[in-house]
């Protein structure tokens, strides 16, 4: 199945990027957070790839990041310091959390790259003025990329990039729509792999993968079983597909998610307009928010509850990277809101490596409780 | 081994008492705001505290200094943080916030009575905590909340757009404040408050520059007692008057060769907020003849430094001194926005680590510092941001550096004995031993 190709890209992401570079003779840019206008990078002929977790124990970051910062940010930096991303020509981050920005800052200082850029993406996306600032920042970013490459990014290239990205988002959303069925035709771990592989590969190529997956899924025989507990996963960056696979091996199917490694990444499209940069910027302001950008009112919770209803979930696993302040703010009120709406939840705190034995007991107990509720 | 050393002349600082009076009066005002017919607004210490001035009399109840104050009382602080943890919030979150939230959840104001109910909540968001802290306060206290997004980003980039963004948000805030309070907005009062704030901040910056002198007229414990007016009340005329008085006194101390630490023979800087419940740390270092002459944090929380024509760092010009127009509301807001965009505490500390490293290297050189102590502060991810990279940058420049772990406002995460041992070892590495008498 083509789903395997997505998994292969995630597993062999470094080989993929190196091969792409060799094949195209172009540059690769690593980005640290999904609040970056990737379309500009792609329009410049550069491959944007997200730096995700390795889940390998490490001892490289202690001199660079104080241990109270989240394991994901330390895992990301460790890979840079170890040279795992030595093929990157540039790095980039959009303003989101302090944790990841620190990893970016330390990477920028200690790992050579010919281009590094920190872009401010407004935190108060609910302000009517956020889009204007986003536009100004997007314009500056485009100029910086052009200066780096020594060539302009044309309107035609931007149009093509927007179209490729929108197609990717549309296809992913179509696949997510299928997950509303019982049983859904694919596992949650596979859905996350589709999103992760999108973040790690050439979108044009990825679109072909998604089209094939869409064609293959209706005929699939070895997907999730009907009658499994329907779970939603919610929270911090979560690229630990092994853990998801494990949960799904215990009689549950993850049918929906609210992660930047999942639905938040692709949920909304760029609405084309004459001012291409404005259109691109608006999309990032309008996307389902990360907790850091969800104030004064709680729009994120509305989005989560809508998803929970549409996907008919029976329980939720709240995943939080240890020390992740933005999610630490949202989890207690979110847990209360889910419970108020009859959705039990299990809170799990993730580290670079997951204590699978301890989590097994907790997940099993949670599923058992849900099964009793169903009965 | 103990060593004898010559002593500088020293004397108590007259302005200290006034600073304490102003602080005490502030917390009294928070408690009595309603009785006095004043609006009570709550938000962060780095909020644009002059902005509500157009509404008339008000008290801006700041979260961080209140959280720090609570931390000095272990019993009450313990109850506060436990009240927060009982609501399932993590114990690694901002320690100031947990003390403030705990006091709110317990409905106990530290200085007596019930936790003050704000008329509204206004916050400037520039770290992961600020905006979300006050979101919870607004919800729990059932008080309207307006947050202003501080565009951090790369310093110097897109300044016009950032100023416009802030100005637009402030305009919205003014409309919003009029709506939620039913009060009319007076631009003259705004102008006066913005002028006071900028002047207070510039005066504070001028004062810390006097600490370049040997011996230093102020040391860090004293600095913390003095900067508080610029944190709590910088938009008030009383603050400007206080800092004019302090500036004159500090200037005279330099002229007279008055030291804050009579035995000064080594000058250190530290980094981040201290463990507020253990300020004896500085007294302990004095036994070695150490004067802690300031820090990036204590200089910049209330102040700002700019490059002077001679290349040194000095106090910034206020909007009036820069010749910025201050006639219309738009003029005032633009000047105020630019003031915040240039604030080093935001633009350096919260952007990328190397911006702060560069400034720290300059501070070390100009303030003639022999070493730096980093408080790796588990209580504030904002000031802990980039500390390890700052440490590496200083080490690379040949500056002796020491670190200790702790928490500015949650003493459960501070090991006093271990910290003092580390200080002893650092002193030894600097060739210092305890002094006689």
Interval B29-41 mean pLDDT: 96
Question: How far apart are alpha carbons A99 and A83 in whole angstroms?
Answer: 21
Q: Tell me which residue of B13, B15, B11, B10 sits closest to B245, measured CA to CA.
A: B15
Contacts with B174 from chain A: Cβ below 8 Å:
none
Q: Is the pLDDT of residue A104 over 70?
A: yes
Searching chain B, which residue's CA lies closest to the CA of residue A135? B161
Q: Average of pLDDT values for B1-23?
A: 87
Segment A299-310, tens digit of pLDDT: 999 999 999 999
Alpha-carbon torsion B121, B124, B125, B127, what sign? negative
Residue B355 lies in a domain: yes
Q: Does the distance separating the beta carbons of B153 and A120 come in below 8 Å? A: yes
**Confidence band of A375 (pLDDT split at 50, 70, 90):** low
Q: Chain B contacts of A332, Cβ < 8 Å? A: 87-89
**Mean pLDDT over all residues of chain A?**
96
**At what angle are helices B95-106 and B74-85 packed, to 10 degrees?**
80
Chosen from B140, B378, B381 to mutate, greatest number of chain A CBs within 10 A: B381
Q: Do A105 and B152 touch (CB under 8 A)?
A: no
Which residue among A62, A69, A328 sits closest to B93, beta carbon to beta carbon?
Answer: A328
Provide the pLDDT for residue A356. Answer: 85
Residue A66 touches chain B, beta carbons under 8 Å: yes
Record: contact B353-A298, CB cut-off 8 A = no
**pLDDT tens-place string over residues A142-197:** 999 999 999 999 999 999 999 999 999 999 999 999 999 999 999 999 999 999 99
**Mean pLDDT along residues B143-164:** 96
Q: Is residue B2 part of a domain?
A: no
Helix (H, G, I), strand (E, B) or coil at A144: helix
User: Pick from B168, B350, B388: which is nearest to A65 by CB?
Assistant: B388
pLDDT of residue A305: 98
Quote the number of domains for chain B.
1
Q: Does B128 touch chain A (CB under 8 A)?
A: yes
Q: Looking at beta carbons, which residues of chain A come within 8 Å of B381?
A: 68-69, 98-99, 323, 325
B294 vs B373: CA distance, rounded Å:
11
- pLDDT, tens only, B90-104: 999 999 999 999 999
| pLDDT tens figures, A317-327 | 999 999 999 99
At B6 the pLDDT is 80
Q: Which of residues 13-32 of B touch A (CB under 8 A)?
A: none
DSSP A100-133: HHHHHHHHHHHS--SEEEEE---S-TTSTTHHHH
Q: Tell me whether residues A108 and B354 touch, CB distance under 8 A.
A: yes
Q: Does residue B171 form part of some domain?
A: yes
* Residue in B317, B347, B42, B313 with CA at minimum distance from that of residue B201: B317
For the ranges A269-278, B66-75, B342-351, which has the lowest average pLDDT? B342-351
User: What is the mean pLDDT of the segment spanning B200-226?
Assistant: 98
d(CA B169, CA A207): 40
Buried b (16+ CB within 10 A) or exposed e, B22-44: bbeebbebbbebeeeebbbbbbb
Nearest residue of A to residue B137, measured between CA atoms = A296
Residue B2 has pLDDT above 80, yes or no: no
**Which structural domain range is residue B367 located in?**
9-435
Residue B30 lies in a domain: yes
A271-282 pLDDT, tens digit per residue, is 999 999 999 999
The answer to whether residue B3 sits within a structural domain is: no
**Percentage of chain B with pLDDT > 70?**
99
Q: Select from A324, A332, A105, A295 the least CA-distant residue to B130.
A: A295
For residue B1, tell me if it sits in a domain.
no
Indicate the angle between helix axes B220-232 and B187-209, nearest 10 degrees.
170
Chain segment B404-426, per-residue pLDDT in tens: 999 999 999 999 999 999 999 99
Place of tokens 């202690």: A62
pLDDT digits (tens, 9 = 90+) for A224-278: 988 899 999 999 999 999 999 999 999 999 999 999 999 999 999 999 999 999 9
Q: Chain B: nearest CA to A225, how far in angstroms?
A: 35
pLDDT tens digits, B263-275: 999 999 999 999 9
Of B139, B152, B384, the CB nearest to A66: B384
pLDDT in the model for residue B437: 62
Contact B62, B40 (CB under 8 A): no
Rounded Cα–Cα distance for residues A355 and A95 (Å): 31
Query: What whole-number distance in Å separates Cα of residue B309 and Cα of residue A364?
Result: 69
CA dist., res. A88 & res. B395, Å (int): 28
pLDDT at position B425 is 98
Round the average pLDDT of chain B to a whole number and report it: 96
Q: List, as one string, the DSSP characters of B231-261.
A: HHSTTSHHHHHHHHHHHHHHHHHHHHT-BSS
Query: Is residue B164 assigned to a domain?
Result: yes
Q: Point out the residue among B94, B138, B376 whose CB comes nearest to the CB of A296.
A: B138
| pLDDT digit string, tens, across residues B53-67 | 999 999 999 999 999
Catalogue all structural domains in chain A, each as residue range(s) with its CATH number.
8-156 (3.40.50.11890)
Interface test with A, best of B378, B389, B397 (most A CBs within 10 A): B389
Distance from chain centroid for Cα A87: 22
Edge-to-edge strand list for the sheet holding A252-258: A252-258, A229-235, A315-321, A345-350
Inform me whether the C-beta atom of residue A342 falls under 8 Å from chain B C-beta atoms: no
Q: Are the beta carbons of B93 and A64 separated by less than 8 Å? A: no
Enter the tokens of residue B86: 């009982």
In SS3 terms, B32-97 reads as HCCCCCCEEEEECCCCCCCHHHHHCCEEEEEHHHHHHHHHCCHHHHHHHHHHHHCCCCCCCCCHHH
| The pLDDT of residue A357 | 86
Q: Is A320 helix (H, G, I), strand (E, B) or coil?
A: strand
Which of A68, A140, A335 lies at the smallest CB-CB distance from B92?
A68
Q: Please judge whether A98 and B128 are an interchain contact, meaning their C-beta atoms are less than 8 angstroms apart.
A: yes
> 3-state DSSP call for residue B407?
coil
DSSP conformational letter for B413: G
Show Cβ contacts of residue A323 under 8 Å, excluding neighbours closer than 6 positions: A68, A69, A70, A71, A99, B90, B92, B381
Among A124, A328, A332, whose Cβ lies nearest the Cβ of B147? Answer: A124
Instruction: Name every chain B residue with its beta carbon within 8 A of the beta carbon of A101.
Output: 352, 385
Closest chain A residue to B382 measured between Cα atoms? A98
Q: What is the DSSP string of A178-208?
A: HTTSSS-SS-HHHHHHHHHHHHHS-HHHHHH
Chain A residue whose CA is closest to B162: A133
Q: Would residue B61 count as lying in a domain?
A: yes
Contact between A109 and B354 using a beta-carbon 8 Å cutoff = yes
State the pLDDT confidence band at A374, using cuts at 50, 70 and 90. Answer: low
CB spacing of A64 vs B389 below 8 angstroms: yes
Which pLDDT score, from 0 to 100, does residue B323 have? 97
CB atoms B165 and A119 under 8 Å? no
- Taking an 8 Å cut-off on Cβ atoms, the answer to whether A130 and B161 are in contact is no
Position B366 pLDDT exceeds 70: yes
**With the CA atoms of B116, B119, B123 and B129 taken in that order, what torsion angle do they form, in degrees rounded to the nearest 10?**
40
**Does B127 contact A106 at a Cβ distance shorter than 8 Å?**
no
């Amino acid at each position: 199945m083509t789903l395997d190709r997505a998994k292969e890209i995630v597993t062999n992401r470094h080989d993929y990027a190196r091969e792409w570079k060799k094949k195209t003779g172009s540059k690769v840019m690593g980005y640290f957070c999904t609040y970056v206008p990737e379309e500009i990078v792609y329009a410049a002929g550069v491959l944007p790839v997200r730096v995700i977790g390795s889940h390998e124990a490490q001892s490289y970051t202690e001199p660079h990041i104080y241990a109270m910062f989240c394991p994901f940010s330390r895992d990301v930096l460790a890979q840079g310091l170890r040279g795992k991303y030595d093929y990157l020509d540039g790095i980039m981050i959009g303003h989101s959390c302090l944790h990841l920005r620190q990893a970016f800052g330390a990477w920028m200082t200690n790992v050579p790259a010919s281009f590094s850029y920190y872009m401010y993406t407004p935190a108060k996306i609910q302000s009517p003025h956020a889009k204007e600032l986003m536009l100004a920042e997007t314009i500056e970013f485009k100029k910086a990329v052009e200066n780096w490459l020594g060539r302009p990014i044309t309107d035609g290239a931007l149009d093509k990039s927007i179209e490729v990205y929108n197609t990717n988002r549309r296809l992913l959303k179509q696949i997510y729509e299928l997950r509303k069925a019982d049983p859904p035709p694919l596992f949650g771990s596979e859905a996350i792999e589709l999103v992760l592989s999108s973040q790690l590969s050439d979108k044009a190529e990825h679109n072909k993968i998604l089209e094939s997956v869409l064609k293959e899924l209706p005929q699939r025989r070895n997907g999730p079983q009907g009658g499994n507990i329907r779970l939603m996963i919610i929270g911090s960056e979560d690229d630990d597909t092994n853990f998801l696979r494990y949960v799904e091996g215990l009689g549950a199917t993850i049918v929906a998610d609210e992660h930047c490694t999942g639905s938040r990444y692709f949920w909304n499209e760029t609405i084309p307009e004459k001012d291409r940069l404005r259109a691109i910027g608006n999309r990032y302001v309008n996307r389902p928010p990360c907790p850091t950008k969800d104030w004064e009112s709680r729009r994120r919770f509305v989005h989560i509850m809508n998803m929970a209803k549409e996907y008919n979930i029976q329980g939720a696993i709240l995943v939080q990277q240890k020390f992740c302040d933005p999610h630490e703010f949202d989890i207690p009120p979110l847990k209360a809101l889910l419970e108020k709406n009859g959705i039990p939840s299990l809170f799990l705190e993730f580290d670079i490596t997951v204590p699978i034995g301890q989590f097994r007991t907790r997940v099993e107990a949670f599923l058992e409780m849900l099964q009793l509720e169903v009965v | 081994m103990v060593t004898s050393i010559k002593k500088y002349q020293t004397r108590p600082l007259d302005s200290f008492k006034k600073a304490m009076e102003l602080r005490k009066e502030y917390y009294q005002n928070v408690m009595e705001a309603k009785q006095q017919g004043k609006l009570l607004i709550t938000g962060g210490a780095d909020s644009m505290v002059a902005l509500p001035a157009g509404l008339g009399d008000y008290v801006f109840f700041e979260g961080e200094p209140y959280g720090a104050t609570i931390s000095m009382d272990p019993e009450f602080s313990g109850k506060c943080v436990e009240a927060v943890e009982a609501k399932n919030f993590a114990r690694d979150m901002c320690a100031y916030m947990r003390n403030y939230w705990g006091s709110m959840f317990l409905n106990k104001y530290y200085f007596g009575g019930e936790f003050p109910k704000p008329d509204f909540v206004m916050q400037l968001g520039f770290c992961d905590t600020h905006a979300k802290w006050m979101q919870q306060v607004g919800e729990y206290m059932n008080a309207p909340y307006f947050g202003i997004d501080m565009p951090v980003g790369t310093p110097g980039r897109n300044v016009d757009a950032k100023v416009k963004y802030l100005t637009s948000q402030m305009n919205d805030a003014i409309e919003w404040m009029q709506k939620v309070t039913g009060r009319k907005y007076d631009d003259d009062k705004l102008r006066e408050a913005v002028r006071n704030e900028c002047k207070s901040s510039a005066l504070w910056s001028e004062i810390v520059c006097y600490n370049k002198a040997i011996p230093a007229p102020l040391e860090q414990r004293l600095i913390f007692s003095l900067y508080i007016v610029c944190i709590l009340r910088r938009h008030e005329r009383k603050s400007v008057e206080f800092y004019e008085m302090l500036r004159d006194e500090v200037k005279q101390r330099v002229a007279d060769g008055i030291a804050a630490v009579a035995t000064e023979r080594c000058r250190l800087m530290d980094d981040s907020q201290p463990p507020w419940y253990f300020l004896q740390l500085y007294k302990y270092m004095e036994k070695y003849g150490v004067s802690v002459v300031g820090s990036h944090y204590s200089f910049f929380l209330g102040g700002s430094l700019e490059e002077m024509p001679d290349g040194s760092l000095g106090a910034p010009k206020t909007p009036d001194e820069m010749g910025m127009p201050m006639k219309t509301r738009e003029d005032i807001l633009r000047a105020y926005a630019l003031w915040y965009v240039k604030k080093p505490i935001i633009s350096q500390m919260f952007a990328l680590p190397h911006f702060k490293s560069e400034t720290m290297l300059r501070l070390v050189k100009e303030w003639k510092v022999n070493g730096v102590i980093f408080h790796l502060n588990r209580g504030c991810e904002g000031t802990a941001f980039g500390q390890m990279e700052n440490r590496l940058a200083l080490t690379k420049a040949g500056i002796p550096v020491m670190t200790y772990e702790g928490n500015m406002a949650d003493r459960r995460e501070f090991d006093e004995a271990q910290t003092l041992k580390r200080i002893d070892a650092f002193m030894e590495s600097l060739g210092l031993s305890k002094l006689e008498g």
